[in-house]
Every structure is written in structure tokens, then in C-alpha cells.
Amino acid sequence: MTVPDKGTVPDRGRGGDRRVIRVVQGGPIMVQGPVSIEMPDGSTVNSDRFMVALCACKRSKTYPLCDTSHRGRKKIVRREDRI
Ligand code: FES
């Protein structure tokens, strides 16, 4: 019997384990690594990380990998600027 790793669930229909892909609301898609990502232009992006964040907002400068650009900037309001 196979004990599933963290992040996987049993694939009872085929006898293997399934990878869990987690979609973060307003953020990236988290995928267990390592991964090879085939791009539309035929290139391949590799990541050997344990968990890989794939950009879903297309704002990343390292697309298809998330660089946290989805977070945007928060405006800092100083106390003296408040009404
Ligand atoms: S989802 Fe993080 S930069 Fe796009």
C-alpha cells in the first residue's frame, strides 16, 4: 500500500498518486515540482523547486513563474495625509 506524500492524494482508479494543484485566489497556481513547462513558442522552462508557483495574472517578469507581481502595490497613507 502506498502512503501518499503531502500534497498528493491517491488515484484509486489507476493505482498511482495524483499531484495536487492549488489555485490561489488572485495569485499563482501552485504545482508540486520539479516541473518542465512547455511554452507556446516551443521553449521549455524548468524548475527544480519542491513547490512551483505558476503565474496566472500574466504580470510576472519571470512568466510563466510567479514573481509576486500579482500582489500589486499598497498605497501607504501617512498619518498627516489623512483627512
Ligand atoms: S500570479 Fe504571481 S505574478 Fe502573476
CA angle 66, 72, 77 (to 5 degrees): 150
Decide whether any atom of ligand 1 lies within 6 Å of the 29 Cβ: no
pLDDT of residue 63: 97
Q: What are the residue boundaries of the structural domains of the chain, listed by start?
A: 21-55
pLDDT of the chain along its 83 residues, tens only? 444 555 555 555 565 678 889 999 999 999 999 999 999 999 999 999 999 999 999 999 999 999 999 998 766 777 776 66
Decide whether any atom of ligand 1 lies within 6 Å of the 18 Cβ: no
